[in-house]
Amino acid sequence: MTGDRTDLVSDAAPEEGHDPSRRRLFALAGGAVAAVLTPGVTLFARTLTVGSGKTPVRYGLLIDSTRCTQGCDACVTACQDYNGLSKKITPDTAQWIRKVTVTDPQTGLTRSFPVMCQHCAQATCVDVCPTGASYRRPDGIVLVDKHRCIGCRYCLMACPYKARSFVGRVVKDQKPWAPRGKGTAEACTMCVERVMDGKAPACVTACAERGKKAMVFGNLHDPKSEIAQKLAQFPTTTIRADLGLEPGVHYRGI
Amino acid sequence: MATMHYREIPGRSFLYWAGLAVCALLTVAGVGAGLYMRAEGHHVTGMNQQIVWGIEHVFAVFLIVAASGALNVASIASVFGRTIYKPLSRLSGLLAIALLIGGLWDLVLDLGRPGHVLDAIIYGNFRSIFAWNMYLYAGFLLITGFYLWFMMERRLNRYSHAMGVTAFLWRLTLTTGTGSIFGFLVSRSAYDTALLAPMFIIMSFAYGLATFLLILIGGFRALARPVGERIRGRLKILLTVFVAAVLYFAVVYNLTNLYMPGQRAFEGFVLLHGGVYTMLFWVGQILIGGVFPLVLLLGKKGASARTLVMASVAVLIGGLAQVYIIIVGAQAYPQQLFPGMIVHSSFYDGVVNPYIPGWPETTLAVSGVGLVGLIVLLAVRVLPFLPLSLADEVTDVHGHDQTVTAAGAAATP
């Protein structure tokens, strides 16, 4: 084949006004441009498809703000207890989950519900992380590789949900399933090790046991799952849906 | 045709050694502060979960932006063929490298795990503008280093134009990258605009030239080497244009935000009731950094050494104020998770976040400046970066100057 191609090229008489060396130059330039552009185009194409494609499993949460009550913080304390987080509230305390109270100034309607890492399909923390320490698992859970995190805090700057925290002090009495490292970023892990054991995250379990059953956990891509069925039943939304980040945490009544 | 002589500075005066000692001390203090933050954790700083980038980032970004702008003088000489600036090219290149190293120093020592910084290159995530910037910074140091070499080695002078063009294009890309660190973020009201990239480029022109002018005029006065009115006049015009352009961008940026109903609350914070940020905007950025230098530069004595120094200091103060608002002000203003709603939480949602720089990060921030001084002072002593004179009779506007670097070289032909 190669030989044929060579013959064809060598037999062809150069057309008038067309310098073969110039043609070679164009070919070379074309090749160089293709070599430079291909990885970029591939990357861009991949960026467009990541998250948008339907994977068999995408874990997510549904939070019903019409059930969640203002005084209840069962989900928050469960997270703190399970993951070994401090209960002290100071400006530099890490908070993986928090209860927010949102009031519409036009109507006076107030809602209270938990906000945590939204495990976005188009996660800004994953995009901006210079080392790839922030990553998204195929099942949709967004995590931080503590070994690779350099502590630049760009993910804290980039997260629209204020969901990331930075470990600013030595952490003692860590839980083996929730390792934390001074100088690294962290956030809700969706209790990934519990999920791998077939259990729900600690906050969801606590809400079911001590709260108002306002949280549902499950596989968003399984039509038979409770979460998928509920999402199909009534209107829900995501926080800052306008940003197009495709969060894995959905809310009802906000 | 004039011959340009360059010579190392003697570096024996008290002033030189005092300057060197202060810069070295600041640099060492920065190492101490960085190690302390690393050992204790960032809770010893004024930063927290709300203000995650503090004063050291302000200085780091300022120095990095100024680095790119400091190379402007060399670019004008070699890219645009303005030979009057050619004698300043070496200092321009040196300052660019020193400022970038100073900025990176602040950034790296502030990291939660500074020892792992190379992971950003080894495991570079190419969807991260931050990772791209790592390559842009490394490339800038390399290209400017070669550019300096080609300028200073007579046998390689013929390549300096090509390297100058490369450096110019690279620095434009670099500052676009620095601006995009913020411009690409959708998370905060102050960011998420393509305007930040060109704005950072024009900021770099002003800050870089102001830094360059201070070093040039201050250094030449200390060395008793003359800086002629002709060259001062040219630099004055450049600085005037750059300062005016920074003001223009500030007006466009804020007007754009004011026009968007969703952004008006943020603009109200910056322009009217943001406390320290409002003051920094009007007094620091606009008055000291913009109006005051323009009045000085457009005055009758605009090209005098004293006026240029005063205007440059004002531009730097205004620049620091501007970067402080861009970085810290943007974080102080509450993130808009629920636009238009009243939000409360234990994680300080919906409130303006206070920030008082702590001594560790302030020491680190200033140490970056110390390192810049240290590099410049050492470099001008060991290599011929500075021309012996920039008097009017030496700087040739129209002709091509010859370059002589040997100490005690022949007199002007």
Domain containing residue B33: CATH number: 1.20.1630.10
Q: CA B203, B205, B211: angle at the middle one, nearest 5?
A: 100
- CB atoms A130 and B125 under 8 Å: yes
- CB atoms A105 and B126 under 8 Å: no
> What confidence category does residue A19 fall into, taking pLDDT thresholds of 50, 70 and 90?
low
pLDDT tens digit sequence for B272-328? 999 999 999 999 999 999 999 999 999 998 889 999 999 999 999 999 999 999 999
List of chain B residues whose C-beta atoms are within 8 Å of the C-beta of residue A124: 185-187
State percent of chain A over pLDDT 70.
Answer: 79
Phi-psi region of B218 (alpha: psi -120 to 50; beta: other; left: phi over 0): alpha
Q: Mean pLDDT over residues B218-230, rounded?
A: 91
Confirm if B293 and B239 have CB atoms less than 8 A apart.
Answer: yes
Asked if A156 reaches chain B (Cβ–Cβ under 8 Å), the answer is yes
Please give the ipTM for the structure prediction.
0.91
* Whether pLDDT at A12 is above 90: no
Confirm if A205 and A215 have CB atoms less than 8 A apart.
Answer: no
More confident of the two residues A130 and B7 = A130
Nearest CA-CA partner of B408 in B87, B6, B91: B6
Measure in Å the smallest separation between the Cα of B104 and chain A Cα atoms.
12
How far is the C-alpha of B129 from the C-alpha of B126, rounded, in Å? Answer: 7
List of chain A residues whose C-beta atoms are within 8 Å of the C-beta of residue B45: 168
Query: Which residue of chain B comes nearest to A164, CA vs CA?
Result: B49
Residues A33 and A153 in one domain: no
Residues A34 and A158 in one domain: no
- CB atoms B49 and A94 under 8 Å: yes
Q: Mean pLDDT over residues A164-192, rounded?
A: 96
> What confidence category does residue B14 fall into, taking pLDDT thresholds of 50, 70 and 90?
very high
How far is the C-alpha of B302 from the C-alpha of B298, rounded, in Å? Answer: 6
Per-residue model confidence (pLDDT) at position A50: 46
- CB atoms A184 and B41 under 8 Å: no
Per-residue model confidence (pLDDT) at position A51: 47
> What confidence category does residue A157 fall into, taking pLDDT thresholds of 50, 70 and 90?
very high
State percent of chain B over pLDDT 90.
Answer: 84
Per-residue model confidence (pLDDT) at position A43: 46
* Whether pLDDT at B345 is above 80: yes
List of chain B residues whose C-beta atoms are within 8 Å of the C-beta of residue A167: 41, 112
List of chain A residues whose C-beta atoms are within 8 Å of the C-beta of residue B111: 150-152, 183
Residues A136 and A36 in one domain: no
Per-residue model confidence (pLDDT) at position B65: 98
- CB atoms A103 and B117 under 8 Å: no
Measure in Å the smallest separation between the Cα of B127 and chain A Cα atoms.
5
State percent of chain B over pLDDT 70.
Answer: 95
Per-residue model confidence (pLDDT) at position B121: 86
Residues A142 and A230 in one domain: yes
Residues A117 and A77 in one domain: yes
Residues A45 and A64 in one domain: no
Nearest CA-CA partner of B314 in B243, B364, B409, B410: B243
Confirm if B290 and B318 have CB atoms less than 8 A apart.
Answer: yes
CA atoms within 13 A on the CB side of B213: 30
Pairing of strands A185-186, A165-166: antiparallel
Residues A29 and A97 in one domain: no
| Mean per-residue pLDDT over chain B, rounded | 93
Indicate whether B50 belongs to any domain: yes
List of chain B residues whose C-beta atoms are within 8 Å of the C-beta of residue A185: 112
Q: Look up the domain containing B153 and give its range.
A: 3-404
Per-residue model confidence (pLDDT) at position B394: 73
Q: Look up the domain containing A29 and give its range.
A: 19-49
Number of domains in chain B: 1
Per-residue model confidence (pLDDT) at position B396: 59
Indicate whether A64 belongs to any domain: yes
List of chain B residues whose C-beta atoms are within 8 Å of the C-beta of residue A153: 52-53, 112
> What confidence category does residue B96 fall into, taking pLDDT thresholds of 50, 70 and 90?
very high
Indicate whether A205 belongs to any domain: yes
List of chain B residues whose C-beta atoms are within 8 Å of the C-beta of residue A182: 41, 112
Asked if A182 reaches chain B (Cβ–Cβ under 8 Å), the answer is yes
Query: Which residue of chain B comes nearest to A103, CA vs CA?
Result: B342
Indicate whether B372 belongs to any domain: yes
Asked if A22 reaches chain B (Cβ–Cβ under 8 Å), the answer is no
Asked if A50 reaches chain B (Cβ–Cβ under 8 Å), the answer is no
Residues A141 and A248 in one domain: yes
Number of domains in chain A: 2
| Mean per-residue pLDDT over chain A, rounded | 86
Residue environment code for A156-194, b if the CB has 16+ CB neighbours within 10 A, otherwise e: bbbbbbbbbbbbbbebeeeeeebebbbbbbbbbbbbbeb
Residues A103 and A35 in one domain: no
Per-residue model confidence (pLDDT) at position B85: 87
Measure in Å the smallest separation between the Cα of A59 and chain B Cα atoms.
22
Q: Which site among A50, A106, A120, A153 would you substitute to test the B interface, given the most B Cβ atoms closer than 10 Å to its Cβ?
A: A153
Residues A136 and A167 in one domain: yes
List of chain B residues whose C-beta atoms are within 8 Å of the C-beta of residue A161: 337
Q: Mean pLDDT over residues B77-88, rounded?
A: 87
Measure in Å the smallest separation between the Cα of B340 and chain A Cα atoms.
8
Per-residue model confidence (pLDDT) at position A7: 33
**Residue B220: enclosing H or E segment and its boundaries?**
helix B196-222
pLDDT tens digit sequence for B323-335? 999 999 999 999 9
Per-residue model confidence (pLDDT) at position A173: 87
Q: Mean pLDDT over residues A139-148, rounded?
A: 97
Q: Name residue A64's amino acid.
A: D
How far is CA A215 from each of CA A11, A207, A253, rounded to the nearest angstrom?
74, 6, 13
Orientation of helix B160-183 relative to helix B129-152, angle to 10° = 160
> What confidence category does residue B385 fall into, taking pLDDT thresholds of 50, 70 and 90?
very high
> What confidence category does residue B392 fall into, taking pLDDT thresholds of 50, 70 and 90?
confident
Per-residue model confidence (pLDDT) at position B302: 83
Per-residue model confidence (pLDDT) at position A118: 98
Per-residue model confidence (pLDDT) at position B256: 94
Place of tokens 């980032």: B57
Indicate whether A10 belongs to any domain: no
* Whether pLDDT at A21 is above 70: no
How far is the C-alpha of B206 from the C-alpha of B321, rounded, in Å? Answer: 14
Q: Mean pLDDT over residues A89-109, rounded?
A: 96
> What confidence category does residue B388 fall into, taking pLDDT thresholds of 50, 70 and 90?
confident
Query: Which residue of chain A comes nearest to B339, CA vs CA?
Result: A240
Per-residue model confidence (pLDDT) at position A55: 87
Indicate whether B279 belongs to any domain: yes
pLDDT tens digit sequence for B209-220? 999 999 999 999
Strands ordered across the beta sheet of B402-404: B386-387, B3-7, B402-404
Residues A220 and A140 in one domain: yes
Q: Phi and psi of A196, rounded to 5°?
A: -65, -25
> What confidence category does residue A9 fall into, taking pLDDT thresholds of 50, 70 and 90?
very low
Measure in Å the smallest separation between the Cα of B54 and chain A Cα atoms.
11
User: Per mean pLDDT, which of A27-41, A73-87, B222-236, B378-392 is the most reliable?
Assistant: A73-87
Per-residue model confidence (pLDDT) at position B254: 96
Indicate whether B119 belongs to any domain: yes
Q: CA A134, A140, A144: angle at the middle one, nearest 5?
A: 20
Phi-psi region of A86 (alpha: psi -120 to 50; beta: other; left: phi over 0): beta
Per-residue model confidence (pLDDT) at position B390: 87
Residues A35 and A97 in one domain: no
Query: What is the maximum span of chain B, computed from C-alpha positions, in angstroms?
Result: 77
B247 CB contacts (<8 Å, ≥6 apart)?
B286, B290, B291, B294
Strands ordered across the beta sheet of A97-103: A110-116, A97-103, B342-345
How far is CA B271 from each of CA A86, B168, B288, rounded to the nearest angstrom?
38, 35, 16
Query: What is the maximum span of chain A, computed from C-alpha positions, in angstroms?
Result: 86
CATH of the domain at A88: 3.30.70.20
Nearest to B345 among A92, A98, A243 (CB): A98
* Whether pLDDT at B55 is above 80: yes
- Work out how many CB contacts closer than 8 A connect A with B: 170
Helices (H), B223-291: 229-259, 264-268, 276-279
Three-state SS string over chain A comes to: CHHHHHHHHHHCCCCCCCCHHHHHHHHHHHHHHHHHHHHHHHHHHHHHHCCCCCCCCCEEEEEECCCCCCCCCHHHHHHHHHHCCCCCCCCCCCCCEEEEEEECCCCCCEEEEEEECCCCCCCHHHHHCCCCCEEECCCCCEEECCCCCCCCCHHHHHCCCCCCEECCCCCCCCCCCCCCCCCCEECCCCCHHHHHCCCCCHHHHHHHHHCCCCEEEEECCCCCCHHHHHHHHCCCECCCHHHCCCCCEEEECC
Q: Phi and psi of A110, rounded to 5°?
A: -120, 135
Indicate whether A42 belongs to any domain: yes
Pairing of strands A185-186, A134-136: unpaired
Q: Mean pLDDT over residues B121-141, rounded?
A: 94
Indicate whether A7 belongs to any domain: no
